[in-house]
Amino acid sequence: MKLQVVLLGNMEYQKALDIQEHLLKLRQLDEIEDIMLLLEHPTTITIGRNGNLDNIILSKEMLKAQGVSVYRVNRGGDVTYHGPGQLVGYPILDLKRHGRDLPDFFKRIEETFIQLLLKEYGLSAGRDPKYPGVWVGNEKITAIGCAVKRWVTMHGFAFNVNTRLEHFLWINPCGITEKGVTSLQKLLGKPLNIDKVSKQVIVYFCRQFNLEPEIMAKEKLYELLRRDVNV
């Protein structure tokens, strides 16, 4: 089976969410194959279904002054930060073709980054029995939060590559106060080429889901969305 992958660069959160919701409908109708969007967002805070506004530390006025957009969304999890240097992936997969097993879906995403970090960078990462995501010691490097509708997934993961970690001080990430966050840049002591890291993520993700990656040009995606605006 194939995985269409679209590299979208830096995209405003609401636009990416609109694209996801459109692709979700197309996947539910089996009009497209499994697809994943890879991108970065401008500085953004999102709040999941069970999110607590108290986990946003900065006031509305301070957030506005910093140019931070805030969205309440339908994924699981609490409060999450997105920003430049963070690689965000939105896999839109039909889980009927991947075992109909939501815990296994999360586990495979986690394993994607555990294997990538070990084999590409020699970093030992793992899971926390209490909290989802991928951790290096007591610091999270990949956050995971998804929604599933009629067995099709949306939302996904946020991998801290060159992320500005000081921005996480604006929130209690995922509602967790006793642990920290980290990034590849912090762990390796140098910034990474995010295009190179994107290619690595594609390879390791596809290994976990037994998919064959195929890059879809942005123009082809937009053509698809224009053609199916009435879905």
Catalytic positions are 174
Instruction: Give the count of alpha carbons within 13 A of 170, CB side only.
Output: 27
Sign for the CA dihedral angle at 167, 172, 176, 179 comes to positive
Q: Which amino acid is present at 110?
A: E
Question: Is 53 strand, coil or helix?
Answer: helix
Phi/psi of residue 213, nearest 5 degrees: -75, 145
Helices 194-209 and 102-121 cross at an angle (nearest 10°) of 130
Q: How many residues does the chain have?
A: 231
Q: Phi-psi category of 150—alpha, beta or left, where left has phi over 0 and alpha has psi -120 to 50?
A: left
| Assigned token pair, 98 | 């991947």
Asked whether the beta carbons of 26 and 231 are under 8 A apart, the reply is yes
Packed helices 218-227 and 13-28: angle between N→C axes, nearest 10 degrees: 60
Alpha carbon distance 183, 83 (integer Å): 13
- What's 79's DSSP letter? E
